[in-house]
Structure 1
Amino acid sequence: MASHRPVAAFLCPALEVPGLPASQRPISGGLRQAYLALSRRSLSLAATAPIRSTSQFRRSDFANQPFTGSYEPGLPTSGPLGGATPGLPCDLTPRSLKQHLDQFVVGQERAKKILSVAVYNHYQRIHELQRRQDEEEELLAQKERRERHPAEHDFPGQQLTIRMGGPATGHVRANTAPPLVDTTPLTIEKSNILLLGPSGVGKTLMAKTLARVLSVPFSMSDCTPFTQAGYIGEDAEVCVHRLLAAANYDVEAAERGIICLDEIDKIATARVSHGKDVSGEGVQQALLKIIEGTTVQIQAKPERNAPRAGGQSPSYPTSTPLGSGSQPAKGEVYNVRTDNILFICSGAFVGLQKHIMDRLAKGSIGFGARVTKSGGRLQSASKDQKSTTANPIPILPGSEEEALYKQHLPFFTPAPAPEQLSADGSPAEPNYFNPLDLLTPADLQSYGFIPELIGRVPVTAAVAPLTHSLLLRILTEPRSSLLAQYVALFSLSGIELRFTTPALQVVATNALAMGTGARALRTEMETILGDAMYEAPGSSVRYALVTEKVAKRQERVLYFGRGQVGSFHTMIADEEGAWEASRRPKSARGPDRGPASEEPSASFERWRSKTTIAAGSGG
Structure 2
Amino acid sequence: MKDLKPSEIVAELDKYIIGQKDGKRSVAIALRNRWRRRQVPNDLKDEIAPKNIILIGPTGVGKTEIARRLSRLSDSPFYKVEASKFTEVGYVGRDVESMVRDLVELTVNNVRATAQESVKEKASRIAEERMLDLLLPKAEAGRAEASADSGLEVVSPSVETASSTREKLRKMLKAGKLDNRYVDLDVADRNMPMVEIFSNVGMEEMGINFKDMLGPLMPKNTRRRKIKVPEALKTMAAEEAQNLVDMERVIQDAVTRVEQAGIIFLDEIDKIAGNGKGQGPDVSREGVQRDLLPIVEGSTVNTKYGPVKTDHILFIASGAFHTIKPSDLIPELQGRFPIRVTLDALNRHDFFRILTEPQNALLLQYIALLRTEGVELIFSDDAVEKIAEIAEEVNLRTENIGARRLHTLMERLLEDILFDAPDVPEKRLTVDAAYVADKLKAIKDDEDLSRYIL
TM-score of the pair, normalised by structure 1: 0.45
User: Shift of residue 251 of structure 1?
Assistant: 1.4
Q: Name the aligned partner's letter for residue 251 of structure 1.
A: V
Aligned residue number for residue 307 of structure 2: 335
* Residue type of the alignment partner of 2:11: Q
Separation in structure 2 between the aligned mates of residue 548 and residue 297 of structure 1, nearest angstrom: 58
CA distance in 2, matches of 1:555, 1:186: 57
- 1:122: how far off? 2.8
Is residue 218–residue 258 contact of structure 1 (8 Å, CA) maintained in 2? yes
- When Rg is computed on C-alpha atoms for both structures, the one with the higher figure is 1
1:101 to 5, 13, 16: 13
Matched, 1:285 2:290: yes
| Structure 1: distance between partners of 2:321 and 2:70 | 23
Which of the numbers 225, 231, 241 marks the counterpart of 2:85?
A: 225
Is 1:242 matched up with 2:102?
yes
What is the CA–CA distance in structure 2 between the aligned matches of 1:530 and 1:338, rounded to whole Å?
Answer: 47
Q: How many pairs were matched up?
A: 291
3-state SS of paired residue (2:108): coil
1:360-509 alignment, distance < 5 Å? 444-445=326-327, 448-509=328-389
1:433 matched residue in structure 2: none
User: 1:50-104 CA deviation, whole Å, 9 max, x = no partner?
Assistant: xxxxxxxxxxxxxxxxxxxxxxxxxxxxxxxxxxxxx753xx2111111111111
Task: Write the distance in 2 (CA, Å) between the matches of 1:450 and 1:554.
Answer: 49
Alignment equivalent of 2:321, drawn from 349, 364, 373:
349
Whether the aligned pair in 1 keeps the contact of 2:301 and 2:307 (CA below 8 Å) is yes
Aligned position for 2:74: 214
User: Structure 1 residue 189: deviation in Å?
Assistant: 2.4
* 1:236–1:270 Cα change, 3 Å: farther
Residue of structure 2 aligned with 1:113, choices 19, 25, 35: 25
Letter in 2 for 1:473: R
Residue 350 of structure 1 deviates from its aligned partner by 0.6
SS where residue 27 of structure 2 aligns? helix
1:550: which partner in 2? 435
Q: Structure 2 vs 1, CA of residues 349 and 273 (structure 1 numbering), >3 Å: closer, same or farther?
A: closer
Name the residue aligned to 2:229: none
Q: Does 1:122 align with 2:4?
A: no
Q: Of 261, 267, 277, which aligns to 1:262? A: 267
Q: Which residue of 2 aligns with 1:17?
A: none
Q: Identify the residue that residue 177 of structure 2 maps to in structure 1.
A: none
Q: Which runs of 4+ in 1 moved over 6 A?
A: 183-186
**Equivalences for residues 140-159 of structure 1 within 5 A:** none
Shift, 1:187, TM fit = 2.7
The amino acid that maps onto 2:313 is I
Equivalent position of 2:171 in the other structure: none
Superposed, which structure 2 residues align to 1:33-112 within 5 Å?
A: 88-89=2-3, 92-112=4-24
Kindly indicate whether residue 256 of structure 2 is the aligned counterpart of residue 252 of structure 1.
yes
Deviation of residue 230 (structure 1)? 1.3
Render the CA deviation track for 1:99-153: whole Å, top value 9, x for unaligned: 111111111112211221122113422x237x73xxxxxxxxxxxxxxxxxxxxx
Q: Offset of 1:482 from its aligned partner?
A: 0.5
Matched letter for residue 331 of structure 2: P
Contact 1:226/1:279 (CA < 8 Å) preserved in 2? no
Deviations along 1:497-545, whole A, 9 cap, x unmatched?
Answer: 0111111111101111222110101111000101111111244331122
Supply the distance in 2 between the matched residues of 1:185 and 1:93 (Cα, whole angstroms). Answer: 20
- Superposition deviation, residue 274 in structure 1: 5.0
Cα-Cα RMSD: 2.2
The partner residue of 2:413 within 510, 528, 536 is 528
**C-alpha contact 1:503 1:546 (8 A) present in aligned 2:** yes
Mapped partners of 2:345, 2:79: distance in 1: 25
- Residue 252 of structure 1 aligns with an amino acid whose one-letter code is T
Q: Distance in 1 between matches of 2:440 and 2:291?
A: 56
Task: Read off the aligned partner of 1:462 and give its amino acid letter.
Answer: T
- More strand by proportion, 1 or 2? 2
Kept in 1, the 8 Å contact 2:270–2:326? The answer is no
- In the TM superposition, residue 276 of structure 1 has moved relative to its aligned partner by 6.2
The answer to whether structure 1 residue 194 and structure 2 residue 57 are counterparts is no
Contact 1:197/1:347, CA 8 A, preserved across alignment: yes
SS of aligned partner of 2:383: helix
Aligned partner of residue 297 in structure 1, secondary structure: strand
AA in 2 matched with 1:187: E
CA spacing shift, 1:104–1:269, aligned 2, 3 Å: same
Q: Which has the higher mean CA deviation after the structures are superposed, 503-512 or 535-544? A: 535-544
- Whole-angstrom distance in 1 between the partners of 2:305 and 2:68: 28
Q: Structure 1's 496 and 334: CA in aligned 2 closer, same or farther, altered over 3 A?
A: same
Seen in structure 2, the aligned counterparts of structure 1 residues 466 and 275 have a Cα distance that, compared at 3 Å, is: closer
Task: Quote how far apart the aligned CAs of 1:333 are.
Answer: 4.8
- The answer to whether the 8 Å contact 1:506/1:551 transfers is yes
Q: What TM-score results when the alignment is normalised by the length of structure 2?
A: 0.61
Counterpart of 2:435, as a letter, is V
Percent of aligned positions that are identical? 39
Aligned to 2:122: none
* Gap runs ≥5 in structure 2: 110-253, 442-454
Residues 227, 278 of structure 1: 8 Å contact kept: no
Post-superposition Cα deviations, 1:334-361, rounded to whole Å, max 9, x if no partner, equal 2111011100001111135xxxxxxxxx
Q: 1:278 to 1:234 in 2, by over 3 A?
A: farther
- For residues 489 and 184 of structure 1, do their structure 2 counterparts lie closer, same or farther at Cα, with a shift above 3 Å needed? closer
Letter in 2 for 1:484: L
Structure 1 273/224 Cα, relative in aligned 2: closer, same or farther at 3 Å? closer
CA distance in 1, matches of 2:339, 2:87: 25
